[in-house]
């Protein structure tokens, strides 16, 4: 089993997840690349390893119990602990659909991945995180999940709908706080990261932030020192300081 710092990033074959994995790899972590699609995951693994990073693919569909348990067994067999868990996997939609017409099935699909899937994966891998001397859990959330920002007419997200997506991230934020409280005495830090509007498949090509910028706050929260915060919701903007958003 490896003695290096070990990370697992879900939804990591592209976009922000892949960039988080790349940056953690560049910092010396051995990174498990959790991907639902094996072909895409293997391709991302090969490309990141070609850059010199210690990357290992593991098939992981957070919406599927059997997949999560199989992934845990694979990681546990090769890793004595897990220092970083980045829950990045998620799906979006409904930006232009009003709450009165958004299909319940679409809302449920987003909750199944963004909330229930993240809870499932976190609970499965938590025993390995607890074996770390400095466990860090990062939830990739969104400003759309902030009730404070949603209710603010001056917020840049005021005109957006996305009720189902937003609600799934609000639920994720509550999970973040509750888990942070549970793990406080164990030294495991749990925080939510808002990457902003990033040019990915989900954010679209016109989004103003790059994947490097979007990954920055997750990297900071994943590598917090012992005096760092826990149970918070953070966005880094364009500057070096971690900025807290209201819930």
Closest CA to 6 of 226, 230, 223, 232: 223
User: Which residue out of 72, 165, 233, 234 is catalytically annotated?
Assistant: 165
Residue 234 a catalytic site member: no
Tokens 């020192």 found at: 225
Helix (H) or strand (E) holding 17: helix 15-26
Closest CA to 176 of 108, 86, 61: 86
Burial of residue 100, with CB atoms counted within 10 A of its CB: 0-12 exposed, 13-18 middle, 19 or more buried? exposed
Residues annotated catalytic, as ranges: 165
């Amino acid at each position: 089993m490896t003695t290096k710092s070990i990370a697992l990033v879900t939804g990591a074959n592209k976009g922000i997840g892949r960039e988080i994995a790349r940056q953690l790899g560049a910092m010396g972590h051995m990174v498990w690349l959790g991907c639902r699609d094996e072909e895409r995951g293997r391709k991302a693994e090969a490309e990141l390893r070609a850059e010199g990073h210690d990357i290992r693919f593991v098939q992981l569909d957070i919406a599927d119990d059997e997949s999560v348990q199989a992934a845990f067994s694979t990681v546990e067999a090769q890793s004595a602990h897990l220092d970083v868990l980045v829950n990045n996997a998620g799906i979006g939609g409904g930006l232009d659909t009003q709450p009165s017409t958004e299909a319940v099935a679409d809302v449920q699909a987003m909750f199944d991945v963004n909330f229930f899937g993240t809870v499932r994966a976190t609970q499965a891998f938590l025993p390995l995180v607890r074996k770390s001397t400095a466990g860090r859990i990062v939830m990739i959330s969104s400003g759309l999940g902030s009730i404070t920002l949603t209710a603010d007419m001056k917020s840049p997200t005021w005109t957006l709908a996305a009720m189902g997506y937003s609600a799934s991230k609000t639920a994720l934020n509550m999970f973040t706080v509750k888990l942070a409280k549970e793990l406080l005495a164990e030294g495991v830090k749990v925080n939510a990261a808002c990457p902003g509007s990033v040019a990915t498949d989900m954010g679209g090509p016109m989004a103003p932030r790059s994947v490097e910028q979007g990954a920055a706050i997750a990297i900071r929260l994943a590598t917090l020192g012992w005096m760092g915060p826990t149970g918070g919701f953070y966005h880094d903007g364009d500057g070096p300081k971690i900025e807290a958003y209201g819930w």
